[in-house]
């Protein structure tokens, strides 16, 4: 069983601190296998609309998702972290998810379609 990630709450922050984290929704437009990753992963190309454009993300989501089930899916991502080099890939956004009982990622997403690039509030 996966360690309970809700056992301890993070420290209290001010609302202004929350506003510093820019979480937006985008649509996955392309998925590639990422065989050079240490853990099974995909490279996602996510469309965040006109302002942000298309960004890449490396995501360890192979347990619950296939490329066919990901293309066209809207996901949430932090878009204002600095890019991070993951092996030969520059990951430009952090795709968000939650651990299931086994610690495998379940993507955070919206339950109705919204415009790409819309910010979480």
User: Looking at residues 105-114, what average pLDDT do you find?
Assistant: 96
As a whole number of angstroms, the longest Cα–Cα distance in the chain is 42
pLDDT recorded at residue 1: 43
> Six-digit token pair at 46?
């996510």
- Identify the structural domains of the chain with CATH numbers, from first to last: 20-107 (2.40.50.140)
Return phi, psi of residue 39, to 5°. Answer: -115, 150
Residue 35: pLDDT band (50, 70, 90) is confident
* Residue 107: band (very low, low, confident or very high) from pLDDT cuts 50, 70, 90: very high
Average pLDDT of the chain, as a whole number: 93
Residue 49 pLDDT greater than 50, yes or no: yes
Residues 64-102 pLDDT 10s: 999 999 999 999 999 999 999 998 999 999 999 999 999
Place of tokens 């495998």: 104
CB 105 within 8 A of CB 64: yes
Q: Pairing state of beta strands 97-99 and 105-107?
A: antiparallel
Sign of CA dihedral 36, 38, 41, 46: negative
């Amino acid at each position: 069983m996966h360690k309970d990630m809700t056992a301890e709450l993070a420290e209290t922050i001010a609302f202004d601190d929350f506003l510093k984290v820019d979480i937006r929704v985008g649509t996955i437009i392309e998925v590639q296998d990422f065989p050079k990753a240490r853990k099974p992963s995909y490279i996602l190309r996510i469309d965040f609309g006109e302002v942000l454009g298309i960004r890449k993300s490396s995501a360890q989501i192979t347990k619950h998702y296939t490329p066919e089930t990901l293309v066209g899916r809207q996901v949430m991502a932090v878009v204002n972290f600095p890019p991070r080099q993951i092996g030969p890939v520059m990951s430009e956004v952090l795709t968000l998810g939650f651990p299931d009982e086994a610690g495998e990622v379940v993507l955070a997403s919206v339950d109705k379609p919204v415009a790409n690039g819309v910010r979480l509030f």
